[in-house]
Amino acid sequence: MSKQRFAFVGTGSRAISFLEPLVTTYRGSSELVGICDLSPARLAYYNGLLAGDLGYHAVPAYGADRFDAMLRETRPDTVFVCSKDSTHHDYIVRSLQAGCDVITEKPLTIDAAKCRAILDAQRATGRRIRVAFNYRWAPFRTKVRELLQAGTIGRVHSVNLEYLLDTNHGADYFRRWHSSAAESGTLLVHKSTHHFDLVNWWLDAIPEQVFAYGDLVFYGRKNAEARGDGHLTRYPRYTGEPAAKNDPFRLDLDESEIFRRLYRAAEADSGYVRDQNVFRDGIDIPDQMSVNVRYRTGPLLTYSLVCYSPREGMRVSLNGDRGRIEYHEFIGTHMNRGVRPRDFKLDDKPGAEAEGERIVVYPHFQPSRVVAVPPAQGAHGGADDILARHFFSTDAPADPWNRTAGHEQGAASILIGIAAVESIRRNQPVNIADLVPLRPDAVHLSQLT
């Protein structure tokens, strides 16, 4: 049987999570045929890794301006998109039109127009798109789906989800391109797509209407100066800045070989500065957000995201007509350091004490019970290993929880965030169908691809 041929576009820190298992664990069934990036330095780093520690071999490398040439010359079956969020739609559409299937990192894209372009291209070509929603694949989050699917608390009528990003992980978004709405769509699209998809999938429901608030209250120059932290604003970046030596928000790109080679060495050819001061001018995304969502089948979601918390984790409560499930997830903090999956570890930071995961079922008129959950192992709560097997293995087991997400389910997630951004701008509710009409005859998420 011939191997599945994969090409990657985007060789930043996320790509290694998928590229390594492809060329090691699954090299018998999958083959890497090309890599593409706007930075020659990053391409050289990845090819060195492939031919060195990963025991594979260097592959053809293409600049971003030669993406179409890569598709023609390497003939991949599937293109894996790990580039900047604002470019996802372009690479997805061009890959589909070249006759390739696509796997894309979340989010599918960042705004309604780009989303429509992807859906139109998929309809025109009939090719397959999958979105790498790793949250679905973590065993403890799958356990919540299992409980709901079994009718443990009856029909769910409301969900409350609070997510806390701390001053390690959360702050990191404000050093990077994610702090520009034009590049990320805001964290309501980039980060919250995880959470919105999780609720959509848990409920097997399609979002219908959104109302939101959002403000920038912590990061940025004005906020730092207003609370007396003006001394933290006096340098544009952290690396090589003596005055930043004791700055608790400091990120030093010289602290590791990976950062030096993946980002510091790539600044000249990419223009990307990875360690910008989080208290600079020009940040135009909110760092605290509150969102209400109504689903087609009736349930309500109340959602909160705070990006400057002293601790990191998630609290969820699901209220049904037969009881309630409370789910807590505090497994520590990390930021994406571009490390190989085997080297992933949580960061040792103040406030990052790990409590683990906890699921408690509160039935009506019965004692509560704690649900046994396997401990998280590896990146993203163990999800990355399971997801890689799904993408690259020829003998992945059947999935009773329907964790695969295609283009329509990917759209259902980002459209909550896109509608929330629009709601903040208008200060009024936004109907998702007015932005991008998801299949109008579908009642449940599982009816979408």
Number of C-beta neighbours around residue 355 at 10 A? 12
Domain spanning 135-219+283-381+400-447, CATH class: alpha beta
- Which parts of the chain have pLDDT scores under 50? none
- Count Cβ atoms below 10 Å from residue 333 Cβ, excluding itself: 25
Q: What is residue 21's predicted lDDT score, i.e. its pLDDT? A: 95
Per-residue pLDDT at 234 = 97
Fold match, 4-132 / 135-219+283-381+400-447:
no
Q: Give me the pLDDT at residue 384, please.
A: 81
Q: Is-contact 50 59, C-beta < 8 A?
A: yes
Q: What is the pLDDT of residue 337?
A: 64
CA angle 308, 88, 449 (to 5 degrees): 100
**Domain extents in the chain:** 4-132, 135-219+283-381+400-447, 221-270
pLDDT at 407: 98
261: helix, coil or strand?
helix
Residue corresponding to tokens 């969102």: 291
Pairing of the two strands 156-166 and 101-105: unpaired
Q: What is the pLDDT of residue 334?
A: 67
Paired with 291 in beta bridges are 212, 303
| CB within 8 Å of 41: residues ≥ 6 apart | 261, 265, 266, 268, 269, 270
> DSSP alpha helices (H): ranges in 131-191?
139-149, 169-173, 181-184, 187-190
Report pLDDT digits (tens) over 100-121. 999 999 999 999 999 999 999 9
DSSP 352-403: ----EEEEEEEETTS--EEEP-PPP-SGGGGHHHHHHHHHH-SSPPP-TT--
Q: Between 3.40.50.720, 3.40.50.12160, 3.40.980.10, 3.30.365.10, what CATH number should domain 4-132 receive?
A: 3.40.50.720
The pLDDT value recorded for residue 378 is 59
Pairwise CA distance, residues 49 & 341, whole Å: 13
3-state secondary structure of 19: helix
pLDDT at position 341 is: 60
3-class secondary structure per residue, 199-254: HHHHHCCCEEEEEEEEECCCCCHHHHHHCCCHHHHCCCECCCCHHHCCCCCCCCHH
Alpha-carbon span 353 to 331, nearest angstrom: 8
Whether 115 contacts 109, CB under 8 Å: yes
Q: What does the pLDDT read at residue 97? A: 98
What tokens appear for 217 in the block? 């209250």
Q: Residues 415-425: pLDDT tens digits?
A: 999 999 999 99
Cis-peptide, bond into residue 107, ω within 30° of zero: yes
What's the token pair of residue 10?
Answer: 């985007």
Report pLDDT for 338. 61
Task: Record the tokens describing residue 184, joined without a space.
Answer: 């990320």
Q: Are strands 323-330 and 313-320 parallel, antiparallel or unpaired?
A: antiparallel
Model pLDDT, residue 342: 58
CB atoms within 10 A of CB 377: 10
